[in-house]
Amino acid sequence: MRTLSWLLAATAVATVVVDVLNWWYAPERGFGLAVRTGWALLRTLGFLILIRHVRRGRAAARPFGLILAVTTIFAVGRLIVPRAGVPPLPGLLGFAILTALCVAVVWLLYRSPSVRDHLVRHPNRLVIDRRGVSWQEAAPRRPPVTGWLLTARVAAFTYSPLTLVPCLVAIGTILDGRLLAAPTVVLWFVIGVAVSYVVLFSSFFLLRGKRWAAVLLVLVTVFVLAVNLPLCWLLLGVDGLVRDGTPLVVAAAMTLYGLRRAGRAAADGPVPDPDASGPDPGGLRQDPAGPPVSARPG
């Protein structure tokens, strides 16, 4: 666990270093690059939050770490490649190191037995019992769900920021004199904010076993792709479509794949509590001291 914490800290530092190098060597430091660089730097805060979850043994650290690592690679990778020419060597080396760190983080989260056994704690909640009112760890009241469902939920939460980032970049087109694009950009921003609420609503019922919530999340995914990809191409060109559309496609693919795997696991029978296991591509998480976690009483 100490190794994972230091690895996450190194990844956060590498994110900042690579972003600074890219900004230093960038031939054009326009508004779009500033927005994308700022969004990439916010990943540092995400890694610090992940360190806190890991130290507290939160099971949600596994899907959160997976999504954070994947989106960080794309968020920083799209900054390395310039509009024309070859990427600078320091930026490429930094990106290669950052990618290796992200891969190592995901490997430890999902393949290390000690990490798996540590990330089993539930979030603290306000508990009222015979002893009075206290703030302590408490199991969620919702029925157990698969870790893949949590992964799909976390991936879907990225739809809103992945929509708002190119929308903010598109503001540069207005500043360049394309005033006719202003209503479209405003509508794009409203859609990005509305998507966050719809995803929050659907994911709330998704974790409670409502089939219609999964269908709604699939429809939201299709809607987000149908809106963002054409707008990226119309307002930002092919360059914007590649830089901002690719991360969104990856997030959508992870959401749909997570929903599919969760549906298969639900059809196969009972599933372990995800707060105790997280995404488990290999099946039920086995406890060396006994039967699968889902089979234990309590």
Q: How confident is the model at residue 91 (pLDDT cuts 50, 70, 90)?
A: confident
Q: What angle do CA 208, 160, 272 make, to 5 degrees?
A: 30
Q: Clarify whether residues 157 and 282 are in a common domain.
A: yes
Q: How many domains does the chain have?
A: 2
Answer with the one of 78, 104, 138 that is the final residue of a domain: 138
In a domain, 291, yes or no: no
Q: Per DSSP, what are the bridge partners of residue 133?
A: 128
Is 294 within the bounds of a domain? no
- Same domain assignment for residues 182 and 276: yes
Q: What is the CA radius of gyration of the chain?
A: 21
CATH code (residue 27): 1.20.120
| Rounded CA separation 199/234 (Å) | 26
Q: What is the residue whose two structure tokens read 């429809």?
A: 219
Tell me, yes or no, whether 167 and 62 share the same domain. no
Domain range for 233: 144-286
Residues 184 and 201 in one domain: yes
Could you tell me if residue 292 is inside a domain?
no
| Element (DSSP H or E) covering residue 35 | helix 31-55
Predicted pLDDT at 274: 43
Q: What is the pLDDT of residues 217-251, one digit of tens each?
A: 999 999 999 999 999 999 888 888 888 898 899 99
- Quick one: 89 and 168 in the same domain? no
Tell me the three state secondary structure of residue 48. helix
Per-residue pLDDT tens over the stretch 133-163:
655 555 666 666 677 888 898 899 999 999 9
How far is C-alpha 130 from the geometric centre of its chain's CA atoms? 40
| SS3 labels along 184-198 | HHHHHHHHHHHHHHH
Same domain, 149 and 273: yes
In 3D, which of 207, 206, 203 has the Cα closest to residue 143?
207
| Longest alpha-carbon distance in the chain | 69
Please say which residue of 138, 162, 193 terminates a domain.
138
- Answer whether residue 183 is part of any domain: yes
Write the DSSP string, 59-118.
Answer: TTHHHHHHHHHHHHHHHHHHHHS-SSSPPPHHHHHHHHHHHHHHHHHHHHHHH-HHHHHH
Same domain, 157 and 260: yes
Whether 227 is in a domain gets the answer yes
Instruction: Say what the pLDDT of residue 281 is.
Output: 41
Alpha carbon of 52 to those of 1, 2, 113: distances in Å?
A: 12, 12, 20
Q: Write down the pTM of the prediction.
A: 0.74
Considering the domain architecture, whether residues 64 and 148 belong to the same structural domain is answered as no
- Chain mean pLDDT for the chain: 80
5 and 66 together in one domain: yes
Considering the domain architecture, whether residues 268 and 157 belong to the same structural domain is answered as yes
Which of 86, 103, 138 is at the close of a domain?
138
Is residue 216 one of the residues assigned to a domain? yes
Q: Based on the domain organization, do 156 and 249 belong to the same domain?
A: yes
From the CB of residue 50, how many other CB atoms can be counted at a distance below 10 Å? 25
pLDDT confidence band for 293 (50 / 70 / 90): very low
Whether 128 and 170 share a structural domain? no
Task: Answer yes or no: is 293 within a domain.
Answer: no
Residue among 105, 144, 112 nearest 284 (CA): 144
Q: Which residue has the tokens 């997280």?
A: 278
One-letter amino acid at 118 equals H
Most confident option among 37-41, 78-82, 136-140, 282-286: 37-41
**Average pLDDT over every residue of 196-211:** 90
Classify residue 36: in a domain, yes or no: yes
CB count in 10 Å sphere of residue 216: 18
Beta carbons of 72 and 15 less than 8 angstroms apart: yes
Written as six digits, the tokens of 152 are 């799909």
Q: Would you state the pLDDT for residue 295? A: 37
